Amino acid sequence: MRTNLAERLQTALNTRHASNRFRCRTIYRSIDSTHVEVNGRSLINFAGNDYLGLAHHPELRAHAAENGLPNGSGASGLVTGYSPAHASAEAAIARWKSTESAVLLPSGYQANHAAVQTFAALAGQRSESVRFLIDKLAHASLIDAVRGSGCPFRVFPHNQLTKLARLLESVDREQLQVVVTESIFSMDGDAADLAGLAAIRENHDFALLLDEAHGSGVYGDSGAGLAAAMNLSNLVDVHICTFSKAAGLVGGAVCASKAFCDGVVNFGRAYIFSTAIPPLLATQIERSIELMRREPWRQKRLMELAHRVRNHLAGAGWPLLPGDSPIIPLVVENENRALALAERLKSEGILTVAIRPPTVAPNSSRIRVTISSDHTDAQIDGLLSALGDYTAV
């Protein structure tokens, strides 16, 4: 039996190798907000998600060093892991997102699972009484959660709301429809059509779960997210935010009505059976939200740099996907070209990562360039010079 396991594993890994899709981990030592060390060499980091440079903010570092809170929470939030620090952070998150309540979880992945599990619990003994309608390019955590919910689901083509409207028309009136999407899509860098969803809701009844992992901190007043920036926060029934991107930390939260958040605590297995985040991290999350409010220049600088990079690359012939976010995918189709481009940039002191299937669709391998507000003008110049014209790829 064990021999059979080893053979199957090796066959699966060999298949990945043969298609240039094998993944392996690289050890990165963070130097500062824009540099990492790889094998003893300093590289300018254009691959991370620290959009506002807060991961190295001196105030957060000082707070972590001087705070006397314990390293761990010691238990789940329903045992002894829920501290005053957690309660205070959740209140701050709810104010930030303009929701009644919020529930902290160890990651955005778990927050998505807990939210979907809460919706699924509303089906009771009739799993078919809740149906999920999910964007094809939604994050893997959302797809996994919906697939594992036990409820029926349909996938609609990316941002094709005409197709979504047709799916909403073919429903049992007693069935709860839950539309699941992201505000900013992590691999394409484009945005959900929230205005279009608002128009559809005028004629169709559905609940909206919006994952703002890459919108939080980047859009809206104090970084409250894309829905807030578009004055459409009320369109969203459940907001998901993460603190591993713009906030520069780790963790996730479900932000919604008090009733829904009570549902997460009672039905969200990803919350119930997980150890709570450390109290120190909860206080860091609250401090990071405050920094976004106090230092709006970071958000402004980030969007200015993203706009500059996008405009330059478009002028150099790069076929950019639509959007204005700091996630800028450079699609070069096959895996070999993506790997070669990443290696060429690395040789010039620039870190990017080749994104290959199954993370993205076949024939859409890419370099995913991400911008930080801490990138200097000289670093941006170096990136653009190294990329050159698309014809040179």
- In this prediction, residue 65 carries a pLDDT of 76
- The single residue of 57, 97, 139, 239 carrying the catalytic annotation is 139
- In this prediction, residue 393 carries a pLDDT of 66
> Rounded to whole angstroms, what are the CA distances from 79 to 83, 216, 263?
11, 30, 17
- In this prediction, residue 163 carries a pLDDT of 97
- In this prediction, residue 21 carries a pLDDT of 86
Structure-token pair, residue 147: 């697939």
Q: Comparing 20-49+296-392 with 58-294, is the CATH topology the same?
A: no
- In this prediction, residue 173 carries a pLDDT of 77
The strand pairing partners of 239, in sequence order, are: 210, 255
- In this prediction, residue 322 carries a pLDDT of 94
- In this prediction, residue 382 carries a pLDDT of 97
Is residue 49 flagged as an active site residue? yes
Pair 368, 327: CB distance under 8 Å: yes
- 156-173 burial, b for 16+ CB within 10 Å, e for fewer? beebebebbbebbeeeee
- By C-alpha distance, which of 274, 268, 273, 241 is closest to 117? 268
Domain ranges of the chain: 20-49+296-392, 58-294
- The single residue of 135, 190, 211, 295 carrying the catalytic annotation is 211
> Rounded to whole angstroms, what are the CA distances from 197 to 40, 91, 138, 162, 370?
49, 28, 16, 10, 27
Q: pLDDT of 47-88, one tens digit each?
A: 999 999 999 999 988 887 777 777 788 889 999 899 999 999
- The single residue of 57, 239, 245, 375 carrying the catalytic annotation is 245
- The single residue of 90, 135, 182, 237 carrying the catalytic annotation is 182
- State the burial class of residue 268 (Cβ atoms within 10 Å of its Cβ: 0-12, 13-18, 19+): buried
Query: What pTM was computed for the model?
Result: 0.93
- Domain 20-49+296-392 superfamily per CATH: Aspartate Aminotransferase, domain 1 (3.90.1150.10)
- In this prediction, residue 392 carries a pLDDT of 64
Query: At the top level of CATH, which class does the domain 58-294 belong to?
Result: alpha beta
Is residue 182 flagged as an active site residue? yes
- In this prediction, residue 2 carries a pLDDT of 58
Name the average pLDDT for the chain: 94
- In this prediction, residue 64 carries a pLDDT of 78
Rg of the chain over Cα atoms, rounded to whole angstroms, equals 22
Is residue 214 flagged as an active site residue? yes
Structure-token pair, residue 145: 């959660």
In this prediction, the residues of the chain whose per-residue pLDDT falls under 70 are: 1-3, 391-393
Is residue 245 flagged as an active site residue? yes
Residues 6+ apart with CB under 8 A from 385: none
- In this prediction, residue 391 carries a pLDDT of 67
- Residue 113, helix vs strand vs coil: helix
Q: pLDDT of 174-219, one tens digit each?
A: 899 999 999 999 999 999 999 999 999 999 999 999 999 999 999 9
- Residue 181, helix vs strand vs coil: strand
- In this prediction, residue 73 carries a pLDDT of 87
- The single residue of 57, 86, 113, 214 carrying the catalytic annotation is 214
- The single residue of 33, 101, 149, 186 carrying the catalytic annotation is 186
- In this prediction, residue 3 carries a pLDDT of 64
